[in-house]
Amino acid sequence: MKKIFCSIGLCLSLLLLFSVSEATADAEEEFRQTYRISPGTAVTVENVNGDIHVSSWDNDYVDVRAVKRTNRGQDDLDLVTIEVINNGSLNIKTVYHKYDQNDDSFFRRSFKRFMSSGPKVNVNYTVKIPKQASLDDVKTVNGTVSIVETHGDTETYSTNGNVEVTRTNGKITAATTNGNVYVVDADCITKANAVNGNLKITLPGVMACDSELSTVNGSIDIFAAFDMNADVDFKTVNGSIKAQEFSVTISTVSKKELVGRLRDGGNRIKAKTVNGSIQLQRK
């Protein structure tokens, strides 16, 4: 009888071990679809855990590639879906579904403490949109947002990750809480903000709008053409301000503040940080 109990116990242990292995196995799945849209159609991408990369191309349709990954098995992967709505605008969104709370099976009860927080799935997007499309909102919570050579008035956000903007046309708002903001030759960067992170902004030869740059804990590096016409308004609380490479007509100057004009003046570059320095450099 003792041997029988031991065998039953061994079987249960092996079954439990197998179930744990299945529940924690690596799993990956790719979503790939194309969507034909009209010129000027607004496109949005919204994610939770993972990166978003959006760029433009010469085709007249949108190519969406999303790779889902998890280390908690296929069941978790199946609870995360890619939702695309193409109805006047094209909206791409990651949707996280909850576990079945009515599942009272042995394994559900056994692994409840591992599953109570919801599926642990990472989704990375690569999206290509027509050059005639208008990129609207691009947002993620945990991950990097990158947009390259897109058109339209775009708001880009991450909570925990970097935001990268390169050679865009249109008004851009780029913001993150914990991460850095990188902007290279955006036609019009209206706002770039971080809380815990640095800003590195390379301005175009001619600014199309005023730019407001700010961070709390980080530095701001601004790269501009030596012959740029602009007004500048730089302020820091705990840091320094440097603009030695430029000839500035000064209105106000101190260790913590610089207000003035580059050449003939023009659109305003306003930069502010609390704990960090501000530096204007030639590109």
Parallel/antiparallel/unpaired status of strands 80-86 and 90-96:
antiparallel
Contact 190, 172 (CB under 8 A): yes
Q: Check residue 8 and give its pLDDT.
A: 55
The identity of residue 283, as a single letter, is K
Tens digits of per-residue pLDDT, 77-117?
999 999 999 999 999 999 999 865 555 544 444 555 455 56
pLDDT at 72: 85
What pLDDT, in 10s, does the model give residues 230-255? 999 999 999 999 998 999 999 999 99
pLDDT of residue 14: 46
Q: Helix/strand/coil (H, E, C) string of the chain?
A: CHHHHHHHHHHHHHHHHHHHHHHCCCEEEEEEEEEECCCCCEEEEECCECCEEEEEECCCEEEEEEEEEECCHHHHHHCEEEEEEECCCEEEEEEECCCCCCCCCHHHHHCHHHHCCCCCCEEEEEEEEECCCEEEEEEEEECCEEEECCECCEEEEEEECCEEEECCECEEEEEEEECCEEEECCCEEEEEEEEECCEEEECCCCCCCCEEEEEEECCEEEEECCCCCEEEEEEEEECCEECCCCCEEEEEECCCEEEEEECCCCCEEEEEEEECCEEEEEC
% of the chain residues with pLDDT over 90? 79
Instruction: Name residue 93's beta-bridge partners.
Output: 46, 83
Q: What is the reported pLDDT for 184?
A: 96
Q: What is the pLDDT of residues 172-228, one digit of tens each?
A: 999 999 999 999 999 999 999 999 999 999 998 889 999 999 999 999 999 999 999
Strand order in the sheet with 248-253: 80-86, 90-96, 42-46, 134-142, 154-160, 171-178, 188-196, 211-217, 268-275, 230-238, 257-262, 248-253
Q: What is the distance between the alpha carbons of residues 197 and 275, in angstroms, rounded to a whole number? A: 10
- Enter the pTM of the model: 0.86
**Which residues contact residue 132 at a Cβ distance below 8 angstroms, ignoring those fewer than 6 apart?**
39, 40, 60, 151
How high is the mean pLDDT of the chain? 89
Q: In whole angstroms, what is the distance from residue 12 CA to residue 254 CA?
A: 74
Q: How confident is the model at residue 12 (pLDDT cuts 50, 70, 90)?
A: very low
